[in-house]
Amino acid sequence: GDGLNDGDEVNKHSTDPNDKDTDGDGLTDGDEVNGTSNTFKQNKYDPEGKPGNTNPLNPDTDGDGLKDGAEVNKHHTDPNDPDTDDGGVNDGDEVNKDQTDPTKPSDDKKPSDDANKDSDNDGLTDQEEKALGTDPHNPDTDGDGLKDGPEVKTHGTDPKNPDTDGDGLKDGPEVNEH
């Protein structure tokens, strides 16, 4: 069994008495309701000191993108706290997107960290390039001899079109020689 009596599963918890793990998150219904399993006791990182009960009907009780079972058994995060280390980035994003440790606030990649990043050193931030549709890893997206930043900010040419005015002469030579 899962540690719950069948009557309580049906009448009190709305869980399936024939399924040890109703929500399929890797924790038994009894562990979720009672918070008493060895897995909860092994969860070493919990700054609030209360991993406690999780919702046996919701595979991701705290809504951070990690199943409760993975939080407890694999990542050692708090399944009731979307940001276990209180670093400003939720546990799911740390694990799935940033590949950082959700128990170490010092390595959290906050969106502001990337706000001014210019991967190709063309004078446009990666965010600006994404908005414009240019390549943040290629300083001259259209190959016309002008970096994307000066095309947008100085020359008024299109960084996605090598011949903005359509006269048969690429923007780079046109700007630099005429």
Taking the alpha carbons at both ends of the chain, their separation in whole angstroms is 82
Its domain, for residue 48, covers 6-111
**pLDDT tens string 47-62:** 454 556 888 888 998 8
Number of domains in the chain: 2
Q: What pLDDT does residue 1 have?
A: 82
Q: What pLDDT does residue 51 have?
A: 52
**Global pTM value:** 0.52
Neighbour tally for 28: CB within 10 Å: 22
Amino acid at 139: P
**pLDDT tens string 106-157:** 888 876 666 678 888 899 988 899 899 999 889 999 999 999 999 999 999 9
68 and 120, same structural domain? no
153 and 90, same structural domain? no
DSSP 8-state class, residue 106:
G
> What is the rounded distance in angstroms from the CA atom of residue 178 to the CA atom of residue 145?
14
- Last-in-domain residue among 89, 111, 133: 111
- Last-in-domain residue among 81, 111, 141: 111
Q: Over pLDDT 70: what percentage of the chain?
A: 87
Q: What pLDDT does residue 31 have?
A: 85
77 and 23, same structural domain? yes
Question: For residue 155, which phi and psi values (nearest 5 degrees)?
Answer: -95, -20
155 and 99, same structural domain? no
106 and 32, same structural domain? yes
The answer, yes or no, to whether residue 18 has pLDDT greater than 80, is yes
DSSP 8-state class, residue 4:
S
Residue 119 lies in a domain: yes
